[in-house]
Structures are given as structure tokens and as C-alpha cells.
Amino acid sequence: MTSMRPCALETPFGTVGALRAGEAGAQRVLALHGWLDNAASFVPLSQHLRGIDLVAIDLPGHGASTHLPLTADYLLVAFARAAFAAADALGWERFALLGHSLGGVVASVMAAAQPRRIERLLAIEALGALAEKEERTTQRLRDAFDAHRKLAGKQLRVFPDVATAARARLQAGTGDLGEAAARLLVERGLREVEGGFVWRSDPRLTMPTAVRMSEAQSRDIVANIECPVRVIYADPSQSYFPDALRRERAALLRNGELIVLPGSHHLHMDDAVGTAAAIGDFFSA
């Protein structure tokens, strides 16, 4: 596959930034990145995929995409609706989904909510929503509302150069992100200002999410995904999504298969060759 080329999609959610590669008329695949990542997350993997028309978008508030207005919250439903809006802007009625981490969560919601539109789902390091116990509901709301108030007027950190920003991303990130992968994400995730660079992602994305689903709700979503699903997990698993839980989720799929590969949370970037081999002909089968 040739290098990914930038494009912009105009939607009711504002401009959705994207990177595109592949063959016109081939299997349509919409790729959704992880939390605080961006469309560059799929650049390494795109070099090893064949026979698809791959469009990796920046979810709202990330990368080159418009920030949601202050009257809207960054919730799973909002991300899912924005992704469908991007597909509409592409003229895609039916398509496949490729999601990593948060993107895999959003893709799960999309596949369950609009089964007639989703042909296949390839989820990396996620399936269903990140769940929370019901008795944590009030505390989560309090934390989210407090964070909103504290964020008002907060100044963005200015980095003197891209390398400094990349080091900061490595120090703050999770999942043992490699240096080359961090550089790709950071280069797309910065905007130039006087004196250097700042993150162009919405600062509200760093705040606690106001609402999370329960485990029962998340399982209902997974159990009602109708399309074929292939799930790729890294070993070792993440602490917030232990191996026993992720296997239980995968077992709920009507038409699913699970592949576990050695690697990090960003294995699709740090081991693009191995991840592409695990994807194989899934999108063209």
C-alpha cells in the first residue's frame, strides 16, 4: 500500500481530519485510533495491508479534527456518531471497521448500533466499553464536574521542538509506546505557536469521562454485534482490561475469533508486520 495521504471530511461534527491509502473500489475500511492518539496510529500498519481502501480518521478533538463545542461531551455515542458522519461524507453506506483501544470501543458501539452498515470489525486491544461498577456513578460525575471547573483558563504547555514533545508523550503515555510510534503520533498531534508547539488535541480529553457503562451494558453490546469480528490482543494484557475479562468478552461474540500476540498496547504500530499477518485476509474473506 502506498503512503497515506491527508484529506479532510466536512461533517455535522465539523471538519474530520483523515489519512487515506489503498485502492478505490476495494473493501472500504474505516480506522479509528486510541485515546489521545490520532490517524497516524495506522501509518505503520497501512504499509502491510493489501486490497482495501483504508481511511483512518482523527476522532473529534484529536489530530486535525474539530473540537466538540463546550456544550457537548466526549462520550462514546458522540465518537460513534462522528465516525458514521465521516463515513457518510465519504459516501460509504456499508464498510468495515478497524479500531485500536478507544477506537475499538467506538467500533464495537457502531457495529452493535447499526449492524446493517458494518460488514466486518477488526478490534485491537479493545472489545466493548471500558466498564465501571454502578456504585461509582456519583463519584465519577463529581470528578468530571470538578475537572471541568479546574480546566478553565489553564494554559497549554509550549514545547520548544517536536523531539521534546515526543519525549513528553513517551513519559506520559501507557502501553510501552515505542519512540518511532510516538514520533508519528506527536508530529500529527502538534500545532505551531509562537515559541514552539502545543498539543492540538482538546484539553478536555484529559479529564475524567462523566459517564461509563456497566459491565452488563458492555456485554450486551458485544453480544449483539452481528458482523464477523476478529479481536487481536497483546500479551501481557493491560491492567484495566485483564486477560480473563477480555476472553469473556470475546466469548460473547456471535461470529468472532480471538488472536493473542506478544507485544505492547500499541502492537499495531510497534509490530506492524506481525499485526498485519494476524489480520491476514480478514477484510477480503
Of 24 and 86, which is predicted with more confidence?
86
Query: All domains of the chain, ordered by start, with CATH?
Result: 5-134+211-279 (3.40.50.1820)
Angle at 225 between CA 259 and CA 98, to 5 degrees: 55
Confidence class of residue 74 from pLDDT cuts 50, 70 and 90? Answer: very high
pLDDT of residue 14: 97
pLDDT of residue 120: 98
pLDDT of residue 171: 85
Question: Looking at residues 114-136, what average pLDDT do you find?
Answer: 97
Confidence class of residue 177 from pLDDT cuts 50, 70 and 90? Answer: confident
Question: Looking at residues 25-45, what average pLDDT do you find?
Answer: 96
Question: Looking at residues 6-17, what average pLDDT do you find?
Answer: 97
pLDDT of residue 172: 78
Is the pLDDT at 7 greater than 90, yes or no? yes
Confidence class of residue 3 from pLDDT cuts 50, 70 and 90? Answer: confident
pLDDT of residue 174: 54
Q: What is the pLDDT of residues 250-272, one digit of tens each?
A: 999 999 999 999 999 999 999 99
Question: Looking at residues 179-208, what average pLDDT do you find?
Answer: 95
Residues with catalytic roles: 101
